[in-house]
Every structure is written in C-alpha cells, then in structure tokens.
Amino acid sequence: MFRSLQRFLVAAAIGWSVTAGSFVQSADRAATYDVVIYGGTSAGIAAAVQTVRQGKTVVVIEPSGHLGGLTTSGLGWTDTGNKAAIGGIAREFYQAVKRHYDQPSAWKYESADDYDRYRPADDAMWTFEPHVAAAIFERWLADAKVPVVLNQRLDRGDGITIHDGRIQSIRTESGQTFRGLMFIDATYEGDLMALAGVTYTVGRESNIKYNEQLNGVQKDQNVHNHRFLKPVDPYVRPGDSTSGVLPGIQTDGPGEDGAGDHRVQAYCYRMCMSNVPENRVPFEKPDGYDQQRYELLLRNFEAGDLRVPLSPGMLP
C-alpha cells in the first residue's frame, strides 16, 4: 500500500478472507477429543497449537466460514503498548510476520525501506496485511494437523450435554456432535459459555465491587477524548424533545464516576483500505440501509466539527 493516503478513502482492499483450503483437516466425528475448541479466532488457533504441543488431541469448530477472527479480518495495526511484555504464541505470530516481510517478494506496492514500521534488526513486526496473518494461521494448523470444522454453529437451544458439572459434548445446528474432555469457548460472543451456565458480567463493574480504582464510569477522568466538541441537537426533529432521540443516544446519562453500568463497548469496522485501484472493491449500499442511524454524525459536521471518524494506520 502506498504511504500516501488520500484524505477520503472510498474503497476497501480485497483478498483477506480465509476459506476452507488444504489446511483444513477432517475431524473424526466418533472421537472424544482431549480439547474441543469452539471458535476459530486467534485465541482458538493459539489454544489448538498449544494443545498439540502438549501431546493432546484437539478439534477447532468455527461457526462461520472464516478463520482468524479480527486478526485476519482487517485489524492489522496492533495496539502493542510495551512490546517486551508480549511473549508466548502471540510473539511467535509477530515473529512470523517479520519473517514474511523480510522477503523482498512480500513488498508489492512499496519497498521495505519506505515503510517506517519495518525494522530489519527487530525480531518481530507488529503491523501486517490480513492475508499474511491468514497464511500464518493456515500453516500453523496444517503443521500441527489440527482438525478444523467450518460453518458449524452451536445449537443454542439445547446443543450441550453436561454431566456432573462437566461438558460431555456439544451439538451444532446441523446435528453434528463433538465430544471432549475439556471445552474452550474462543468465540467473541461466548455462546458456549452461556449455554454451559457459566456466570458472566455485562458492562463495567463498579470500583466498589472488588475494591478497585479504575473500573466503572470514568467520565470525569477523560474530559478531552471521545467527546462532542460542539453542541449537537439530539432529537429526531431538531428542537422537538417529544420526537424522541436519534439512534445511538441514551437519555439516562453515563452515570457517576466509578459506578457500574450495563453497557458494552461500541462496535466498529476494521477495514483494509487502499488507494491502489486494482486492490479495491467498491463500497455498496447495503440492504436495509437506514440514513437515520448516521444522522448524529451529519449533525456533528453541521455543528462545525469536521473531524472524520476514520483513523487510518498504514499497513505494509
């Protein structure tokens, strides 16, 4: 990708989806595995590789047709913080990324010398194209001979058998059953965890709950970031409070500092975008598009805040 990026990017890069290929090993439907992993995310793949290293049998069941989760879906700009703290299989991944970009053939649209996040002396590299992550995961799974089953979603009605407090097997919506001695829920949604009756918390916990200081609402500690800089009318019909509020607005306020709440983190898209014409596909208007869901953004522009809600990080 060129290092110069146009102000308004209008197309997404192609080619980062992972589909069934030679790396997918057949699963033994009659087997009882030492470990059954539900979710082919980065965490699920790492858990599978480590299980094999420990001499145990394992199967990975992915509800979609895509492996690698966010890592192979656009999130190639890693928020690393202190890189020295990253070890284990995670660091092995970033070391594999570095080895890939050590090859001159890896640089299609620019040279390694032109990309400031490629440092020849480093043992690891922290930014990458999703297809590179996909290739690494595919190679890991193939080398470890991990059985991978795609497009098998857990039956969330009664697709689980539990005996003496332990999961014995799970069943997918297609009727396939997978048995194991241990189960790992490596999905983002936690459906297996919930179906197994594991307790969980939604939202922020209060400081009081565990005698902590950095939990809960932090509105008074973060007054400069992620805020509206201009007054924006929140009502469906501007100035008319009886018309209700726009999508994305809640009327009960964030709560007091340190208090718990019921909210979850906002969702966003991690997209690979390019100004290379042959590496783009068009953004198309999706079915069910509702302009009202973006009215708040338009009003923020009209109020004079012209910041674009796009934070591009350059990939190789």
Per-10-residue mean pLDDT of the chain, 316 residues long, equals: 34 36 62 97 98 98 96 90 95 98 95 94 96 97 96 97 97 96 97 95 92 87 77 96 95 89 83 89 93 95 90 86
d(CA 274, CA 265): 27
Residue 267: per-residue pLDDT: 77
Please tell me the CATH code under which domain 16-195 is placed: 3.50.50.60
d(CA 314, CA 316): 7
Residue 11: per-residue pLDDT: 34
Domain locations in the chain as residue ranges = 16-195
d(CA 188, CA 169): 20
Residue 23: per-residue pLDDT: 56
Q: Which tokens is 259 given?
A: 């208090």
Q: Which tokens is 94 given?
A: 């970033």
Closest CA to 133 of 80, 182, 83, 95: 95
Residue 253: per-residue pLDDT: 83
Residue 24: per-residue pLDDT: 58
d(CA 164, CA 42): 31
Find out whether 23 and 148 touch, Cβ atoms under 8 Å. yes
pTM, two decimals, is 0.84
Q: What DSSP state is assigned to residue 147?
A: B
Other C-beta atoms closer than 10 Å to the C-beta of 156 total: 13
